[in-house]
Structures are given as structure tokens and as C-alpha cells.
């Protein structure tokens, strides 16, 4: 089922031109949309819709609007992070320039609204209202993420709220959108939104864990990147909370060090994480959010056979090591 949905999504992305002239404005959009990825968000929209309706192909264009919005955020995030690569290819601001990347992102968001105009009139206002609320939270989460870089201390609660906004709410909206387009009950829409949010937090925490304890070859990027950047992930926040005495002093020294070898710092901080039980504490938190999310599926008033398809897809993603 997901392979068929994925084909529809890719076909729609290829078909959608976004605009023609000037080419320098629209080529970057086609470029970033063509870089691939899991297409998780539109797949979730289609999967949620399929719980209630069979004519799934009817909403593919609307589902890809969510993917376009996601890629719009990545385009601008890459500028803010000064990232050279996205999915192994040059980022838009590197391939073109920063000004073009900003402007292409702006028009990309406009085209997202064009795609949402295909929503049936009776649902359009509600879809746009929910999308606008979600989009604002994504921006708030990104701003908090940048604010955290300047703060000496970030609490666990603040960090979890940041990743809820930056990452998880869009997964929640993607599922809620599918249910809304299928005219599901308000209770089911809410349950699917909460399911997406909890799962989304779990996914981000797993990314944090994989960055330190994952297999770099499978993960697709350098293990320890967050350590080198002193990024305030759940792991570092937990370590700072747990460290006492000599371990607290050692951790502080590594965070302050400017003259270390990269491999030396990664190994030293990772060893401290092991000694402080950070890996297990993170995995416990990941399991907590995944279980909390999956429990929301029990609330859905749909046949168990249909729930199983969505659950199987999510469990496959949860077990990933990339």
C-alpha cells in the first residue's frame, strides 16, 4: 500500500512545476523537491485518509502540499544553519545563493497555499486555520532551537516542547489533515493528531540518540556531530543533569574546550554518557513517547484491520537505524 502511495506522491511532485519564469526562482524549488526523502508527511496524510475512505488518490495533490511546506522549512533552516549539504547534495543556498534561496522559499510557501485551494470549500477554512496554527508553531520551534544555542542551561521540559513544535506538530497535522479530508469524527481527528505529535517527539529523540550511539554508515552522517557542536540535545541535557563531582567537571571542560581533536572529544563525551546512563535514559524516553502515541490509535473508531496497516508502517519507522 505505501509503495503505491509513494509512487503517487512522487508522480505528483514531478508533475507540479510551481512556476516557470524566472527559471532561477523556480528551479531551486524543483531541485529541493526532487532530492527525495521518506515523504513521511504526505504518506501519513494518505494513510490517515485511507482509514475512512477508499478514493485515496483524490487527495494526493493536497497531501503533497504538506511535503512542499516541509521542504520550504528545510530550505530556510539550511540557510540559518549554514548547512552545505541536504540529503547528500548541495543545499539551495550553496548551489545558487542565499538571496535566491530566501526568495524561492517565499514563493514555495505561496504555492503551498495554492495546493490547499483544492480542498473542498466546506473544509477549506478549517484546513487553512489548522495549517496556519501548525506552521506558526514550526517557526516558533525553530526560533527556540536557535535561542537554546545562546543559553547556558536548557531544561528537559523546554527541550521537549521545542521539538514538539519544530518537528512533531507537522506530523500531527499531516495525520489530522487526512482524517479531516475524510470527514472523520472530531474525536478521531484529535487522536490522530496526538498520535503524530507523540510519535514525532519519539522520532526526534531517536535521531538524538542515533547521532551519538548509531552506526555512522547506516545513519548516513557523521556520528558525534551534535557532540562537536555542543548541541543541547536530550542526551546533553540529561548528562548535565546527572553529572556530579569529577564527571561534572570533565563534561564542563569538554564543552568549553576549543583545542581538542574531533575524535577525542566525541569519544570522551560518549564515554561520559555511558558512565552517566544517558543512553538508557534516552531510550526509556523514546519508548515512552512511542507507546503514548500508539495508545492513541486504540481510540480510533475504525476496523482493527485498517489500524494495523498504519501501525505496521509506524513500527517499521520506529525500528529504523537511519
| Cell of residue 141, nine digits | 520551534
pLDDT at 222 (0 to 100): 62
C-alpha 201 chain-centroid distance: 9
Per-residue pLDDT tens for 143-197?
999 999 999 899 999 999 999 999 999 999 999 999 999 999 999 999 999 999 9
Q: Which of 27-36, 227-236, 255-264 has the lowest mean pLDDT?
A: 255-264
pTM for this model (two decimals): 0.94
Q: DSSP class of residue 184?
A: -
What number is the average pLDDT over the span 55-77?
97
Number of other CB atoms surrounding residue 189 within 10 Å = 21
Nearest to 224 by CA among 27, 215, 71, 234: 215
Would the pLDDT of 263 be above 80?
yes
Q: Highest mean pLDDT range out of 60-64, 219-223, 315-319?
A: 60-64
Q: Which of 17-26, 165-174, 313-322 has the lowest mean pLDDT?
A: 313-322
Residues 7, 29: Cα–Cα separation, whole Å: 20
pLDDT at 152 (0 to 100): 87
Would the pLDDT of 322 be above 80?
no
Would the pLDDT of 321 be above 80?
no
Would the pLDDT of 226 be above 80?
yes
Q: At which residue does the C-alpha cell 548541541 appear?
A: 231
Which backbone phi and psi does 222 adopt, to 5 degrees?
A: -65, 125
The overall average pLDDT reported for the chain is: 94
Q: Pick 214 or 285 by higher pLDDT.
A: 285
Q: How far apart are the first and last CA of the chain?
A: 22
Would the pLDDT of 47 be above 60?
yes
Q: DSSP class of residue 167?
A: I
Would the pLDDT of 279 be above 60?
yes
Amino acid at each position: 500500500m505505501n509503495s503505491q502511495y509513494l509512487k503517487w506522491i512522487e508522480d505528483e511532485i514531478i508533475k507540479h512545476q510551481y512556476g516557470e519564469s524566472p527559471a532561477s526562482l523556480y528551479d531551486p524549488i524543483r531541485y529541493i523537491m526532487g532530492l527525495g526523502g521518506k515523504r513521511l508527511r504526505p504518506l501519513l496524510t494518505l494513510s490517515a485518509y485511507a482509514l475512512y475512505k477508499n478514493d485515496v488518490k483524490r487527495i494526493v495533490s493536497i497531501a503533497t502540499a504538506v511535503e512542499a511546506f516541509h521542504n520550504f522549512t528545510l530550505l530556510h533552516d539550511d540557510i540559518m544553519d549554514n548547512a552545505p549539504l541536504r540529503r547528500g547534495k548541495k543545499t539551495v543556498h550553496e548551489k545558487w545563493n542565499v538571496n535566491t534561496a530566501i526568495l524561492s522559499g517565499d514563493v514555495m510557501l505561496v504555492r503551498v497555499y495554492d495546493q490547499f485551494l483544492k480542498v473542498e470549500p466546506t473544509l477549506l477554512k478549517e484546513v487553512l486555520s489548522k495549517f496556519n496554527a501548525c506552521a506558526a508553531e514550526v517557526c516558533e520551534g525553530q526560533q527556540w532551537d536557535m535561542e537554546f544555542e545562546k543559553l547556558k542551561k536548557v531544561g528537559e521540559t523546554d527541550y521537549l516542547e521545542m521539538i514538539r513544535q519544530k518537528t512533531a506538530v507537522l506530523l500531527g497535522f499531516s495525520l489530522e489533515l487526512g482524517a479531516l479530508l475524510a470527514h472523520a469524527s472530531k474525536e478521531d481527528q484529535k487522536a490522530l493528531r496526538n498520535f503524530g505529535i507523540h510519535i514525532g517527539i519519539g522520532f526526534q529523540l531517536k535521531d538524538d540518540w542515533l547521532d551519538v550511539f548509531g552506526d555512522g554508515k547506516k545513519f548516513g552522517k557523521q556520528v558525534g556531530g551534535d557532540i562537536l557542536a555542543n548541541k543541547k540535545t536530550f542526551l546533553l541535557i540529561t548528562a548535565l543533569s546527572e553529572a556530579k563531582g569529577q564527571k561534572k567537571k570533565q563534561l564542563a571542560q569538554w564543552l568549553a574546550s576549543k583545542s581538542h581533536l574531533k575524535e577525542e572529544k566525541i569519544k570522551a563525551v560518549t564515554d561520559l554518557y555511558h558512565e552517566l546512563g544517558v543512553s538508557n535514559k534516552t531510550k526509556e524516553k523514546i519508548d515512552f513517547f512511542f507507546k503514548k502515541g500508539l495508545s492513541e490509535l486504540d481510540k480510533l473508531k475504525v476496523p482493527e484491520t485498517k489500524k494495523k496497516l498504519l501501525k505496521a508502517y509506524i513500527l517499521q519507522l520506529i525500528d529504523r537505524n537511519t
